[in-house]
């Protein structure tokens, strides 16, 4: 299919969901792509192919902006499915932490992140927002796979095989940021792990760097009840209140989880125009609690959806997350309206782009935005009949309906194949070798 | 692949989950199949192929009993995805009921059931438990597709294009039962729709027929709060108490949904050894309420899982249902243990077989049971690495991992193809024609 990987071409589909501010669902249109950008979106009936461009006709397909996974730990793919039946404490203490301590290395993070990137790309994800040790290894894996990555400079107040202390995490993080400055597909955030693992002092330094470098802050917040109880014991306040008083919160703050929110927390979120990323599958799998979707939608500047890491989900593809988000939203007390399918798709496209402050580049199908696109084949027997192509994907569809994925106008995945020169077998075999070193 | 469709052959796989009473997960075994039955399960290391049988080596695959969808309305596939964003009342009153009234016919039920059977079969389902109008058309579609069907003789106290009154529903139901008596893959139940649509008199007659003919009773119960309030208004008791006092309940009673259960309901369920089928995706999609999984597990004789009809799910393949069942189970108050992956798989295999009183024939991989099997290919990149093949399918897998499906020892689905002489395109086109007649 090299004929559609050239620098100026068109894609013709039955449906295009733009995720633009009018939430336009276009029928029978062509997206024209020039180099890495969307040149124009035109009705098929108005299109005359004067320049004799290659036009890929996808027939009964839906094209949407490439999906954005707003929170993950790609490299945790090496722990996918470990001790699935264990409760949180045993799972963390017997399976996750000992193996991280034993095995974490640049090589492991690279190999596991590469597998995660392949999983995400083939699930229609073109951008992911990551937080983990050895961020440079994840960034490198993303670059090789050809997916867009927003990578956190991680901070945590304990020694790891990656770094020794706050200064070391900071130095390594900033060096990573400098090293990847020329890499168009890699952007960075500051990623303090969580209120219970980062000190006031460190948070204050992170705020300073965020202001000076214009970087977002990406942090787990209010994931479990334990975290809140612990904060009250240690600091006499709930975590959000603590960070508010430190001056850490603002429209550049990305709060992940927010499962447990009091009315005072909600006020803090509103006042500071915080972004929330919810990870409903992970929250339920770890029995952290049921996220209150409507509360988030009412409080946050933007709500978007993340898979969380593979160890607690165990899919990075967002389809299960989006469906569960929709199902939970409908079942909260006092709900009178169901979040419609356009708003749901916005959670994994434009809202996530806004959350990452990348809305000028990605998240919608609009002129001059990056040509990050996913085409869903809707001719599959499992999807028939089709009344609404968006709700069809949300409620009947899945990763097996992802047919083509473009990043920067380059075709990266088509039918069941990766286009780049990626040896999938080797990638799988590497993860099997790592698995053999795991203790369970 | 006709060489593996002969009457005596073997299947060799890395993992076999038997769902037998010991819940054995076998590694590196061969299932020998003779005609329609499982002849033997032997360790590969002990097997000498004296009879020169064809042995299909599936490598890194998991074989489980064919999945059983314990509650559906196959024919409602023609309404799949209609008005997904609407609340229950509007959805029923504006989309579902008017279209059923306008279009229901033997032809529609046949065409839509056939598509549903194809969807189910390609999702690893080898038996489904159905309730709808024109049951003979659904049974015929199942027979053509080659899937095992347990079809309800439906009763409802209103006139439809299928039947006029109770006597008419009964006559037509019994005639259907007689007509399909020679059809090995078709069994039947009595299927009164729900307490709010069936009178005391009719229920009593159904109890008599159940006793005389040895048939199960398949009925919606306590799906919504409205249903319970309505029963108290009309009958001064909750629906389960009403049916208990009518003598309708017993180990042959299949109560579908049971979302809303009081402590007295639980006592009635225990006392009568009722079977519960839960449909968690449907309950959440229609905002009927969150099913209390642990309550069901403690109260019911058997708990199994159904998709419900496509209009309220919108997948018949059980993967989303099973995962949601697991996630909800973990998040109920007071839960100390997570339902493990073997118990979860039992919900969609042996427990469902017991619910349908078919456990002597299907539901587990054991000598002399029907060779109804599904093989999952676990080499997929999305599933790596694999710590537990069962939890891998539950949390990371899906219908796209279903590689082969056998019913009665006959290969019915392989890779992406149906083996029978089924024209999938025609089936899809027929449903598109029906969709064009739908009013939205």
List, edge to edge, every strand of the sheet that includes B253-257: B67-72, B125-130, B148-155, B186-192, B217-221, B253-257, B275-278, B302-305
pLDDT bracket for residue A256 (50, 70, 90): very high
The C-alpha of B49 sits at a distance from chain A's nearest C-alpha, in angstroms, of 32
Please determine, for residue A22, whether its predicted confidence score (pLDDT) is greater than 70.
yes
ipTM of the complex: 0.97
Q: How far apart, in whole angstroms, are the C-alpha atoms of residue B279 and residue B274? A: 16
pLDDT bracket for residue A6 (50, 70, 90): low
- CA distances in angstroms from B179 to A175, B137, B176, B347, listed in the order given: 77, 12, 5, 31
Please determine, for residue A3, whether its predicted confidence score (pLDDT) is greater than 50.
no
At residue B288, the 3 state secondary structure works out as coil
Identify all chain B residues contacting A289, using CB atoms and an 8 Å cutoff: 331
Cβ count within 10 A of residue B367: 11
8 Å CB contact of B386 and A81 = yes
Nearest residue in chain B measured CA to CA from A119: B382
Q: Which residues of B380-418 are buried (b: 16+ CB within 10 A; e: fewer)?
A: bbbbbbbbbbbbbbbbbbbbbbbbbbbbbbbbbbbeeeb
With a cut of 70, list the residues of chain B below it in pLDDT: 1-6
Q: How far apart, in whole angstroms, are the C-alpha atoms of residue B185 and residue A247? A: 68
Whether the CB of A204 is below 8 Å from some CB of chain B: the reply is: no
- Domains of chain A, CATH where assigned: 2-66+365-418 (2.30.40.10), 67-355 (3.20.20.140)
> Nearest to residue A64, comparing CAs of A275, A350, A411?
A350
> Nearest to residue A287, comparing CAs of B217, B331, B422, B361?
B331
Whether the CB of B281 is below 8 Å from some CB of chain A: the reply is: yes
Nearest residue in chain B measured CA to CA from A287: B331
Identify all chain B residues contacting A339, using CB atoms and an 8 Å cutoff: 85
Residues 171-190 of A with CB under 8 A from B: none
Tell me what pLDDT residue B232 has: 98
Tell me what pLDDT residue A203 has: 98
- The count of C-alpha atoms lying within 13 angstroms of the C-alpha of A85, restricted to the half-sphere facing its C-beta, is 16
A277 Cβ contact list (under 8 Å, min separation 6): A70, A71, A129, A254, A255, A256, A257, A303, A304, A305, A306, A352, A355
**How far is residue B52 CA from its own chain's centroid?**
37
**Chain mean pLDDT for chain A:** 96
Please determine, for residue A2, whether its predicted confidence score (pLDDT) is greater than 80.
no
8 Å CB contact of A399 and B385 = no
More reliable by pLDDT, B440 or A144:
A144
Nearest residue in chain B measured CA to CA from A378: B428
Q: How far apart, in whole angstroms, are the C-alpha atoms of residue B106 and residue B270? A: 39
Mutate to test the interface with A, among B14, B81, B428 (most CBs of A within 10 A): B81
Tell me what pLDDT residue B252 has: 98
Whether the CB of B119 is below 8 Å from some CB of chain A: the reply is: yes
Tell me what pLDDT residue B236 has: 97
Count interface pairs A-B at CB distance under 8 A: 170
pTM, two decimals, is 0.97
8 Å CB contact of A399 and B394 = no
Is A270:A243 a contact under the CB 8 Å cutoff?
no
8 Å CB contact of B387 and A287 = no
Whether the CB of B431 is below 8 Å from some CB of chain A: the reply is: yes
Tell me what pLDDT residue A89 has: 82
8 Å CB contact of B338 and A86 = yes
pLDDT bracket for residue A274 (50, 70, 90): very high
| Residue-wise pLDDT tens digits, B207-255 | 999 999 999 999 999 999 999 999 999 999 999 999 999 999 999 999 9
Option in A85, A313, A388 nearest B84 (CB): A388
Whether the CB of A387 is below 8 Å from some CB of chain B: the reply is: yes
| Residue-wise pLDDT tens digits, A181-236 | 999 999 999 999 999 999 999 999 999 999 999 999 999 999 999 999 999 999 99
Cβ count within 10 A of residue A120: 30
Arithmetic mean of pLDDT, A146-159? 97
Q: What is the DSSP string of B236-254?
A: SS-HHHHHHHTT--STTEE
Whether the CB of B84 is below 8 Å from some CB of chain A: the reply is: yes
Option in B313, B327, B387 nearest A82 (CB): B387
> Is the bond into B425 cis (omega within 30 degrees of 0)?
no
**How far is residue A84 CA from its own chain's centroid?**
22
Query: E strands along B37-103, which residues?
Result: 37-43, 54-57, 61-65, 67-72
| Residue-wise pLDDT tens digits, A348-366 | 999 999 999 999 999 999 9
Tell me what pLDDT residue B2 has: 40
B83 Cβ contact list (under 8 Å, min separation 6): A387, B90, B91, B94, B95, B440
Q: Rounded to 5 degrees, what are φ and ψ at A17? A: -95, 115
Q: Is B136 left (phi over 0), alpha (psi -120 to 50) or beta?
A: alpha
Please determine, for residue A128, whether its predicted confidence score (pLDDT) is greater than 50.
yes
The C-alpha of A319 sits at a distance from chain B's nearest C-alpha, in angstroms, of 10
Option in A85, A118, A290 nearest B338 (CB): A85
């Amino acid at each position: 299919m090299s004929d559609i990987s050239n620098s100026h071409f068109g894609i013709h589909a039955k449906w295009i969901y733009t995720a633009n501010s009018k939430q336009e669902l276009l029928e029978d249109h062509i997206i024209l792509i020039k180099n890495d950008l969307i040149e124009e979106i035109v009705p098929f009936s108005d299109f005359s192919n004067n320049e004799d461009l290659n036009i890929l006709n996808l027939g009964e397909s839906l094209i949407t902006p490439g999906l954005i996974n707003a929170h993950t730990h790609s490299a945790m793919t090496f722990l996918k499915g470990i001790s699935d039946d264990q409760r949180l404490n045993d799972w963390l203490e017997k399976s996750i932490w000992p193996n991280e301590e034993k095995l974490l290395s640049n090589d492991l993070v690279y190999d596991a992140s590469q597998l995660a990137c392949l999983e995400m790309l083939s699930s229609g994800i073109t951008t992911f927002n990551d937080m983990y040790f050895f961020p440079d290894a994840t960034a490198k894996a993303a670059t090789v796979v050809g997916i867009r990555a927003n990578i956190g400079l991680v901070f945590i107040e304990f020694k790891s095989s990656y770094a020794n202390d706050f200064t070391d995490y900071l130095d390594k993080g900033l060096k990573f940021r400098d090293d990847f400055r020329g890499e168009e597909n890699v952007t960075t955030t500051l990623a303090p792990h969580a209120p219970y693992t980062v000190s006031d002092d460190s948070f204050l330094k992170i705020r300073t760097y965020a202001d000076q470098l214009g970087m977002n802050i990406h942090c787990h917040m209010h994931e479990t009840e334990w975290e809140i109880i612990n904060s009250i014991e240690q600091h006499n306040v709930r975590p959000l209140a603590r960070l508010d008083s430190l001056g850490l919160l603002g429209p550049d703050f990305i709060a992940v989880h927010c499962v447990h929110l009091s009315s005072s927390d909600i006020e803090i979120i509103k006042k500071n125009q915080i972004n929330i990323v919810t990870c409903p599958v992970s929250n339920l799998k770890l029995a952290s609690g049921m996220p209150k979707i409507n509360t988030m939608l009412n409080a946050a500047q933007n709500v978007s959806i993340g898979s969380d890491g593979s160890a607690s989900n165990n899919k990075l593809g967002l389809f299960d997350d989006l469906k569960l988000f929709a199902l939970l939203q409908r079942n909260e007390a006092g709900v009178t309206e169901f979040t419609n399918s356009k708003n749901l798709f916005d959670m994994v496209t434009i809202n996530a782009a806004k959350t990452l402050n990348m809305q000028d580049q990605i998240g919608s199908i609009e002129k001059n935005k990056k040509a990050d696109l996913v085409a869903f084949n809707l001719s599959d027997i499992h999807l028939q009949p089709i009344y609404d192509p968006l709700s069809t994907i949300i409620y009947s569809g899945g990763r097996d309906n992802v047919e083509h994925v473009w990043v920067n106008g380059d075709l990266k995945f088509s039918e069941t194949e990766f286009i780049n020169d990626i040896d999938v077998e080797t990638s799988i075999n590497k993860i099997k070798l790592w698995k053999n070193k795991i203790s369970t």
